[in-house]
Structure 1
Amino acid sequence: MAKYLVCGKYIGDGVKGLLNEGGTSRRSEIEKLVASLGGKVECVYYAFGEYDIYGIMDMPDSTVMVAFSLRAAASGLVTVKSVALLTPEEIDEAAKRTGEYRAPGVNWLP
């Protein structure tokens, strides 16, 4: 499974819905949607600032993560941003892989 940080911002009547239903109710709905897509919610937190809600989710793949985002955003009451999370071991593995690349305007390769 792939791990994602999900950031959401309630807009318009979405804020009113949160006030009426409460945070635990919205968390339950998120957990239901994620489970219906074959994923698992690790945690959900509310915050103030750029985003209203944050979650860490394990999803089968990026297509499933997009399905989650589309379903939530289709309501028109929340915007969703997702960020793929990588473990230090995955970064180690990526660092071992090499490829040929020349930066624009650079005539040498490190």
Structure 2
Amino acid sequence: MKYVLLGSLGADWSKKQNKRTGSARAKLKALGIKLESVHYTQGAYDFVDVVDAPDAQAMLAFSVWYAQQGYGRIQSLPAFDERTMVSALKKAGARG
């Protein structure tokens, strides 16, 4: 399942950027989560990533682990491709 991660970094993130990215990539790999893209942003969130996780539990485990490290906070949003959305609309009886 693909997820979009919206991340907010801790106040002293620049002092531990290399440690944060290295350990986060290692934890993702250990949980079977594939990191597909990383984008740093300006505004409400500091980064937006796209990952492919084997299940919701793996994604939840990563989010909890990330917060425990003091790196900041992540919101994980399930991402649905167009085919899945069209199928859901049909099941819902939506017309369009």
Q: TM-score when scaled to structure 2?
A: 0.84
> Paired residue for 2:3?
4
Task: Structure 2: state its 5+ residue gaps.
Answer: none
Identify which of 41, 49, 57 aligns with 2:51: 57
Task: Structure 1: state its 5+ residue gaps.
Answer: 100-110
Q: TM-score when scaled to structure 1?
A: 0.74
Q: Is the 8 A contact 2:20 2:71 kept in 1?
A: no
Q: Is the 8 A contact 1:27 1:44 kept in 2?
A: no
Q: Is the 8 A contact 2:5 2:74 kept in 1?
A: yes
The number of residues matched between the two structures is 93
How much is the aligned-residue C-alpha RMSD, in angstroms? 1.8
Deviation sequence 1:70-109 (CA, Å, 0-9, x none) = 000112331111111000000111112148xxxxxxxxxx
User: CA–CA distance in 2 between the matches of 1:75 and 1:26?
Assistant: 9
Deviation sequence 1:9-68 (CA, Å, 0-9, x none) = 1122334322xx3xxx64433321111001100011111211112110000111111001
> Paired residue for 2:66?
72
Report the identity percentage.
30
Q: Which amino acid aligns with 1:16?
A: K
Bigger Cα Rg: 1
